Structure 1
């Protein structure tokens, strides 16, 4: 759970926070579901959840500063996209 005072943040920072939180939540849920269904290993699930937790920690640090810049949101987007790609089955060549 992220802790912050909404009154200290700009509207854009609040929007960026919501988007980043949703992206991280969605990747975590996808990893858990894929692990349960056997599509990824438990280790991969744990690795992905740890990376999401690290990004949440960074997000909390930005919240503490009172600003979530678009550049950080772009980083979250890149990282969540990479994590989702890692969960995709590898095609045999």
Structure 2
């Protein structure tokens, strides 16, 4: 990641150091779906890249996902807000703009 950060001209990225942005994720390496994969990094990456057993996600040093839940987000309220936007969009498509 240091090479990519250098290429982008972003000295604030690319390594885990105090004062730098920290985006990372941790997986549960003992999850059943990873049996046999942890000893083969080329096999492990495709297994965790899309739907892997993510235990924690950190963006810019802040934990945003832990133990299967978004942190600092009221998921039920977010669901209802998204439903309201979806309902309005469908209503506009059926009735046309008001």
Q: The TM-score by the shorter chain falls in which range?
A: under 0.3
More strand by share: 2
Taking structure 2 as the reference length, what is the TM-score of the superposition? 0.26
Structure with max Cα Rg: 2
Bigger relative contact order (CA 8 A; separation at least 6): 1
More helix by share: 1
Taking structure 1 as the reference length, what is the TM-score of the superposition? 0.27
